[in-house]
Structure 1
Amino acid sequence: MRGQRLRAARTRAQGVQIVDIEQLAARLAGGFIAPLDDDTLRAAIQAVLPGTPLGELDTIKDLPGMVGAAADTLRKAWRAGIDLQARAGDHARLAAMAALERAVLAQLPPGMLHPPALAAAAQARLAHAPALLGRVDVDGLADLPPCWRPLLLALAAVLPLRWLAGPRPVPAWLDGSAVAVERSAPCAPARSVVSAATAQHEAIEAMRWARALLASGQARPEEIAIAAVTPADYDDHFLALRSDSGLDLHFVHGVTVAASRDGQAAAALADVLLRGLSQARLRRLATLCAGGAGLLGQLPENWTRALPADAPLSSAAAWTRLLDRLGTTGTTDATGATGATEWPEAKALGATLRAVVALLSRGHDGAAEAGEALLGGRALAIWRRALLAGPAAALDVTLAGLKQDDGLEACVCAAWMPASALASAPRRFVRLLGLNSSHWPRGRAEDRLLSEHIVPAAELDPLPVAAADRRDFGIILATTESEVVLSRARRDGEGRLLGRSPLLHGQPDETYLRRNAAPAQACSEGDRLLARPDEFARLPQAEAAQRCWLDWQRTELTPHDGLVRAGHPALAAVLARPQSASSLSRLLRNPLGYLWQYGLGWRAPEDGTERLTLDPPSLGNLVHLTLDLALQALEAQGTQGTQGTEEGGLAAASPQRIAAAVQAAAAEAARQWEAGEAVPPALIWRRTLEDVRAISTTALAASQGRLPAARAFGEVPFGGMAPKTGSAVPWDHQASVEIPGTGLRIRGYIDRLDISGDGRRALVLDYKTGAVPDTGSEGKEKPFVLNGGKELQRCLYAFAVRALLGDGVEISAALLYPRDGVELVLDDPQGTLDTVVASLRAARDALLGGATVIGIDSGSDYDDLGFALPANAKAGYLRRKLAAATARLGDAARIWEAA
C-alpha cells in the first residue's frame, strides 16, 4: 500500500484513501471501532489460556507455540466464515475452540472487533457507504476471504465498485454481481531459468543481478524485486549480503529482531534467565544495555574491572559472596586487605548489582519483572512482544521468530519479499528463488489444532497453500513488465540433490551457474576479489599472505617464522621487566611463545563455563592457598604459646594440630574460592576439598624437624612482589634480585621457606600437586635437576634466598610431591645455577639477536598459544622448522637435553 500511496501523492490525487478491507469495514462500522490486530489477539489468548478449560487441549496449552497455533486457527476460522459457536457440538475440538473464542472475545478492548463481527457491523451501516466511501476500487487482489465477500457484494449494490483485476484471474464468486471487473492483457517479460549450487549461491547471484541492473541503468531500485515463497530460508544470507554489498535491500516481511542491538539485548536477557547466571552472560547483557533506562544502564563503562576475570560466577550465591568481599561503599575494607577491590569511579554499585542478580536469579519465572527493570525503549517493546507470543520458558524460541521493520522504505529500495506480497505489488524486474520440488509449490499441511477429520481443509482454508503458490507464480509472470529470472538450487545445505519445481515445465532452458565462475557484475568488493583471484593476487595483502604461506613450507627460517631485526626495542623492553620462573622456562623452551605472552600480551581465551572438576592449575592454586593459611595459623599459635619464642610453630606441631589447622584452612580457602572462582558440583567439590586436605596435611608434615627451632613462612614474596597476606616476611620484599651475568631480574612467591632458629640454614620447598614426572626407564623414577629447562624453581628460588639472606646462610632446595610422598632435593645448587645462568644468557642474546622462533615446547599439549601457529603445526610446520630453529638458538637450546 505504501507504493500506491506514493503514486497517489505524485499524481496529486486529492481525497483518495488507500486502505485494506479491514480498515474499510472499520470506517463504515463507525464510532471508535478498530479491527483486531495480531498483537492484541495473541495477548488475549495468552491471558485466557490458563483459565479456560479446553478439554483434550489442556495438556498442550502451556507448551511453546500454543499461542501462535491458536491465533492461526482462529484467524482461519474467522476468514473462512466458520461459526465455531454453532458447530461446537460437532466435535470436542470444535467445542474447545469455541470456548477459547468466547474467552478471547470477552478479553478484547471495547470497540475492537474480530473479522466476522466487523463485517456484520459494517453491513449494518451500508446506508452510509455512499457518503463515507464514494467510489471504491479493489486493486492488487486475486481473491478475498469468504468472510468479506458478502460485504463487498453488498457495497457494490449501493455505490460504484470496481475490481481492478489486470492480468490476474477473477474469482468465480464475482460472476453475476454488480462489481465492475476491469481486466488487462498479461505482460510478456523476458524469462530465463538458472540453477545455482546452493541456497546461499542463489542469494549471491540475486544480489549480483540486482547490482548489474542498477549499474547498467536499466532499472531504478524500486523496480527490482527478489522473492521466494519461504523467505525465511534465505533471510540470513540476504542480511549478510546486504551489509557486505552496501545495497539498500528492503525486507518487506521484516527482519528478525536479533539483527538489531535492541533485539540482541532482549536475547541476552533471555539467555541469562533460561540458562542461568554467569559472568560472561551478565557482561554481555550489561554491554548491550549500557546507557539505557534500566538498572544496568546506571553502571559506568568500566564497572567490570572489579570482577575477577576468570571466575564464572554461575550462581546468585557466588555473586553475593563476591559483592560481600568487594563491599558496596566504593572503598577498601577496614583491614586494608588486598582482596577488597575498589569500585571504579568510587561509585557504590553493589546495591545495583545485588538488585540485578536478584532479578536474574529467579529465572524465567521473573521474566516480566526482569524485562521491565533492565530493558528500555525498543528492547523492552520486543521483550513484551515475546512474552505475549509464548511462555517465558520458550523465550529464546519466541525471540528467534519475532520480526520487525528494517527501517528502509520500500518505495525507493530494491525489495526482498514473499511471493504473495509480490503478486499484489508487482515490479518491473523480478527474480524468483527456491523453485525446487516440494519448495515451490509447497505441500499441503493440516491445521495444527483443527485437523482434516474435524473440519475439512477445503472449508477451513478455501485456498490451500499449494494452490496459492501456483496462483502467485502465475500472477507474478503475468504482472512483471520487463524481466523474470527463475532460480533454483541444485543441492541443499547438506549436499543432497534437489529436484526441479513442476512450475519450471515449459519454461526456457536452464543455465548452469558455476559457483566459482567470475560474475559479470560482482555484488561487493569481497565478491569481486573472490571471483577474480588474479586481481586479488595483486593486492599487497594477498602478496603478503602468499609469501607467508610459501615461507612456512621452507625448511629454513624466515621473518614469517619469528625472525625480527636484532636489538628490537620491544624485545629489550620485555627482557628488562622482572621475570618469573615460568616466564624464564618459556624463554628457554619456546622463545616465540615467550614473546607472544610476555611481549605482546596474548592470552588463550577463557570459556568462562563451569567445569565439572578443577583443572590441574586451579587445583594447585587451591592447595597453595590452603597450605599458606594453615601455615600462618600454626606459626601464629606457636608464637602465642611460647611467649614470643618461635619453637612452637610448625616445627613442633603435633599431627593433630596440623590436621586441625589444615581443616580450618581448607574451609577458609573454599570460602574464598567460591567467592571468585569456578566451583564444581557439590558432590565433586566436597571430594576435591577432601583431596586438598590430604595433600596439605602430607605437605606440612613432610619436612618437620629438618631444621632446629625453625620458623616457616608461606607464599614468601621477593623481587618486588607484594605480600598476599599480612603475615611476616623474612626480608625486604621490594629488593631487586638479579641473576648474575644475565641482566635478568626475577620475582615471585616461594611456596615454603623454613629458616632455622640461628638463621644459618634455610630450606626452600616448592609444592607440586601433580605426579612425579617419569624421566627414567623401565618404570623407575630417575631424579631430575632441570628437566630440560622445565624445572627452574628450585634453582632460582635458592638463589633468591641466598641473595636476600646473605652468603652465610646454607641453602637447601627441594621439590615436594605430596601425592607420591617424594621430595627431590637439589644436590648441587651452585652448579645448577651456573648451567641455568649460561642457558639464560644464551637465550637472552638469541632473543635480542632477533631469534623469536619456535622451541621444543611450541605446539605441545601444554602450549596454550599453540592455536596461533600454522594449522596442524605438529604434523608439518614444526617438523620442518625445528632443526633450523635449534641451530639458530645455538647454546640456548642445549638445556633441552639437560637432565
Structure 2
Amino acid sequence: MLSRVQLEPIPRPEQDIRAFETIRAHAVGSFCVSRSRRSAEGTLLSPSRLFPVDGVEVFAKARAPAHAFSESDRLLARPLEAREKPTLALAVAAWRAWQSPDFTAWDGQVGPDDPVVRAALAREQSATSLRRLLRDPLGFVWRSALGWRPADIHSDVLALDHATFGELVHEVLGLAVERLESTPGLNRATLQELQGAVEVAGDTVALRWPSERPVPPALLWRRTIDEAVRLAVAGLAFDQGLQPGTRSWSEVPFGEEAEAAAWQIDAEVRLGGLRVGGRIDRLDLRGDGGAARVTDYKTSAVPRNMSAIVLAGGAELQRVTYAAAVRCLLPEVRQVVSRLTYLRGGPEAHALSGDALDAAIADTERFIAAAVALVSDGAAPPGPDAREPFNNLRLALPADLENYLFRKSRALWTAAGELPTFWSAP
C-alpha cells in the first residue's frame, strides 16, 4: 500500500492552479470567468484564489443593464413600465402595508357585505368554524369564504398524530356504545361486558383503517389499538351506574340533513344567528325524558385550571354548541348537563349545567353576533389563534409573524371591535 504523499506528491490547491492555467493557456478567442457572490444560504462568498485580481469590474445588483438578460433586467431598466405590472404593483403595495402601523387591506380588510363572505356565513357552521370566526376572523375568511385548504400529504407513519388518534378513540367508543345499547343496554352492562364490547370495536377498527388511511406498521398499529381500547374502557366504566331506563346514543348528528333516532323534532340549531351542526360523541337521555347529558370525549391531558374554564375565550365551544342542539331538538328536556371527559390521566369530567350553562350560551351568542357583524362590515383581522402552532393557514401569514403582530397590535386590536373582550374571558 502506497501512502497518499507518494500517490499525490503535489498538494490539491497546487493541482487546481496548474489545471486552471492549462485551460486558460489553451483557450481560443476568449476566456470567461464567473463566480457566485452568495451561498445557497444567502451569505457573502469571497472570490476563489483562481479568480483574477486585476481588471475586475463589480456591477451593482440594482444597475440598469446595457442589454437585458431576462424580463427582470428589462423591467429594472424601465421603472415606469415596471410600475404598470400588476404583480409588481401588488408587491409594492404589500411592502408599504407591511411598514405601515395602520390596519390595511393586507391585514384583513374585505369589502363590506362581500357576497363570498356572506355565503360563508350563511352555511352551516361547526364548533371548529365558530372558533375560527371568533378567534381568527382572517383565518375564517381564508378557510370558509375563499376555500383555502392545506394539502393532504399521505406518507408512511410510525405513530398517529393527536387529532387522528382522537378520531380512532371516538370511533372505538361509538361502535362499543352501539353494541352495548342494543344488548344488554349501556346502563345495565357490567365491566366485563364493557371491556368485551370495546375490544370487539377495537378489532373492527384495526381491520378497517388500514384500507382507508395510512397507519403505523403492524406491531405499532396493534399497540395503538390497545391504547385506544384502554382509554375507551376507562371512559365507559367512568359512567357506570346510569339510572334505569336511561338511553344512550353515540356519534349523534345534528344540523343539515341529520337523521338521528334521539331527536324529537326536526329543526335548525342556531347560535348568534348562525346555523350550526356537528356530531355529539355521546348523548344520554333519562327514561322520563326530563334530563339529558352530553359528553364530548378528549384524548388530551386535562388543561390547567380546567375547573375555572367556561369558554376559554372561544377556544372551548363544544359544550355550549352541543347543549344548544339538545335544547332545540329535545324541547321536553328540562335539565341539560354538557361536559368534557378527559380520558388520558383520568378519566376526569368537567360539566356545565344550570345557570352557568345558560350564561355561557348567552355569552357565545352575543359574541358570535359581534363577530358576524365585524366580518360583514369588512374587517377580518387575525386573532390569537393565528399564532398557534396548529394553525394550518400560518403559511399565508407574514414569515416574521411575532414582529408583525407586535407592530400592528394597536391597529388589529381596534379593528377587532368587541372580540378582544371575549378573548380574555375565562
Structure 1 residue 650 displacement after superposition: 0.9
Q: Which amino acid aligns with 1:545?
A: A
Q: 1:533 to 1:622 in 2, by over 3 A?
A: farther
Alpha-carbon separation, structure 1, partners of 2:257 and 2:350: 26
Structure 1 residue 614 displacement after superposition: 1.1
The answer on 1:625 being equivalent to 2:171 is: yes
Structure 1 residue 612 displacement after superposition: 2.5
Alpha-carbon separation, structure 2, partners of 1:441 and 1:676: 63
Pick the aligned partner of 1:880 from 388, 407, 414: 407
For residue 320 of structure 2, what is the aligned residue in structure 1? 795
Q: Which amino acid aligns with 1:569?
A: P
Q: 1:528 to 1:893 in 2, by over 3 A?
A: same
Alpha-carbon separation, structure 2, partners of 1:755 and 1:499: 84
The answer on 1:585 being equivalent to 2:131 is: yes
Q: Is the 8 A contact 1:589 1:789 kept in 2?
A: yes
For residue 7 of structure 2, what is the aligned residue in structure 1? none
For residue 157 of structure 1, what is the aligned residue in structure 2? none
For residue 334 of structure 1, what is the aligned residue in structure 2? none
The answer on 1:822 being equivalent to 2:367 is: no
Q: Which amino acid aligns with 2:57?
A: Y
Alpha-carbon separation, structure 2, partners of 1:553 and 1:877: 9
For residue 330 of structure 2, what is the aligned residue in structure 1? 805
Q: Is the 8 A contact 1:761 1:809 kept in 2?
A: yes
The answer on 1:751 being equivalent to 2:290 is: no
The answer on 1:634 being equivalent to 2:164 is: no
Q: Which amino acid aligns with 1:889?
A: A
Q: Which amino acid aligns with 2:71?
A: E
Give the SS at the match of 2:316.
coil
For residue 762 of structure 1, what is the aligned residue in structure 2? 292
Alpha-carbon separation, structure 2, partners of 1:807 and 1:796: 18
Cα deviation per residue 1:152-177 (whole Å; 9 max; x = unaligned)?
xxxxxxxxxxxxxxxxxxxxxxxxxx
Q: Which amino acid aligns with 1:499?
A: R
For residue 699 of structure 1, what is the aligned residue in structure 2? 235
Where do 1:483-502 residues align within 5 Å?
484=30, 486-489=32-35, 493=39, 495=45, 497-500=47-50
Alpha-carbon separation, structure 2, partners of 1:842 and 1:707: 41
Structure 1 residue 496 displacement after superposition: 5.2
Task: Name the stretch that deviates more: 564-573 or 882-891.
Answer: 882-891
Structure 1 residue 721 displacement after superposition: 4.8
Where do 1:707-726 residues align within 5 Å?
707-722=243-258
Q: Is the 8 A contact 1:564 1:850 kept in 2?
A: yes
Q: 1:782 to 1:536 in 2, by over 3 A?
A: same
The answer on 1:556 being equivalent to 2:102 is: yes
Alpha-carbon separation, structure 2, partners of 1:754 and 1:618: 25
Pick the aligned partner of 1:731 from 263, 268, 271: 263
Structure 1 residue 540 displacement after superposition: 4.2
Q: 1:441 to 1:524 in 2, by over 3 A?
A: farther
For residue 425 of structure 2, what is the aligned residue in structure 1? 898
Q: Is the 8 A contact 2:139 2:386 kept in 1?
A: yes
Where do 1:65-80 residues align within 5 Å?
none
Alpha-carbon separation, structure 2, partners of 1:681 and 1:868: 34
The answer on 1:841 being equivalent to 2:386 is: no
Q: 1:856 to 1:490 in 2, by over 3 A?
A: closer
Give the SS at the match of 2:98.
helix
Alpha-carbon separation, structure 2, partners of 1:583 and 1:633: 32
Where do 1:298-337 residues align within 5 Å?
none
Alpha-carbon separation, structure 2, partners of 1:439 and 1:527: 35
Structure 1 residue 675 displacement after superposition: 1.3
Cα deviation per residue 1:181-215 (whole Å; 9 max; x = unaligned)?
xxxxxxxxxxxxxxxxxxxxxxxxxxxxxxxxxxx
Pick the aligned partner of 1:832 from 352, 356, 360: 360
Q: 1:633 to 1:554 in 2, by over 3 A?
A: same
For residue 379 of structure 2, what is the aligned residue in structure 1? 851
Alpha-carbon separation, structure 1, partners of 2:31 and 2:264: 82
For residue 663 of structure 1, what is the aligned residue in structure 2? 199
Q: 1:529 to 1:734 in 2, by over 3 A?
A: farther
For residue 863 of structure 1, what is the aligned residue in structure 2? 391
Alpha-carbon separation, structure 1, partners of 2:204 and 2:148: 33
Cα deviation per residue 1:512-545 (whole Å; 9 max; x = unaligned)?
2426143210122123235666763564433332
Q: Which amino acid aligns with 1:738?
A: R
For residue 651 of structure 1, what is the aligned residue in structure 2? 187
Q: 1:681 to 1:438 in 2, by over 3 A?
A: farther
Q: Which amino acid aligns with 1:800?
A: A
Q: Is the 8 A contact 1:437 1:500 kept in 2?
A: no
Q: CA RMSD in A?
A: 2.7
Structure 1 residue 574 displacement after superposition: 0.5
Where do 1:365-764 residues align within 5 Å?
442=19, 469=23, 473-474=26-27, 476-477=28-29, 484=30, 486-489=32-35, 493=39, 495=45, 497-500=47-50, 510-514=55-59, 516=61, 517-530=63-76, 536-537=82-83, 539-638=85-184, 649-722=185-258, 729-731=261-263, 735-739=267-271, 742-764=272-294
Give the SS at the match of 1:814.
strand
For residue 8 of structure 2, what is the aligned residue in structure 1? none
Q: 1:793 to 1:536 in 2, by over 3 A?
A: same
Q: Is the 8 A contact 2:267 2:328 kept in 1?
A: no
Q: 1:573 to 1:438 in 2, by over 3 A?
A: farther
Structure 1 residue 573 displacement after superposition: 0.6
Give the SS at the match of 1:486.
coil
Q: How many residues align?
A: 406
For residue 128 of structure 1, what is the aligned residue in structure 2? none
Q: Which amino acid aligns with 2:327?
A: R
Structure 1 residue 577 displacement after superposition: 0.3
Greater Rg, structure 1 or structure 2?
A: 1
Alpha-carbon separation, structure 2, partners of 1:823 and 1:765: 9
Q: Which amino acid aligns with 1:523?
A: F
Q: 1:815 to 1:550 in 2, by over 3 A?
A: same
Q: Is the 8 A contact 2:64 2:77 kept in 1?
A: yes
For residue 771 of structure 1, what is the aligned residue in structure 2? 301
Q: Which amino acid aligns with 2:133?
A: L
Q: Is the 8 A contact 2:340 2:351 kept in 1?
A: yes
Structure 1 residue 747 displacement after superposition: 0.7
Unaligned 5+ runs, structure 2: 1-12
Alpha-carbon separation, structure 1, partners of 2:90 and 2:203: 57
Q: Which amino acid aligns with 2:197?
A: A
Q: Which amino acid aligns with 1:498?
A: S
Q: Which amino acid aligns with 1:737?
A: V
Q: Is the 8 A contact 2:292 2:333 kept in 1?
A: no
Give the SS at the match of 1:716.
strand
Identity of aligned residues (%): 38
Q: 1:470 to 1:555 in 2, by over 3 A?
A: closer
Q: Is the 8 A contact 2:266 2:329 kept in 1?
A: no
Structure 1 residue 735 displacement after superposition: 3.9
Q: Which amino acid aligns with 1:731?
A: W
Q: 1:490 to 1:744 in 2, by over 3 A?
A: closer
Unaligned 5+ runs, structure 1: 1-435, 444-465, 478-483, 639-648
Alpha-carbon separation, structure 1, partners of 2:262 and 2:167: 23
Alpha-carbon separation, structure 1, partners of 2:332 and 2:264: 16
Alpha-carbon separation, structure 2, partners of 1:491 and 1:559: 37
TM-score (norm 2): 0.87
Q: Which amino acid aligns with 2:378?
A: G
For residue 10 of structure 2, what is the aligned residue in structure 1? none
Structure 1 residue 892 displacement after superposition: 2.9
Where do 1:351-366 residues align within 5 Å?
none
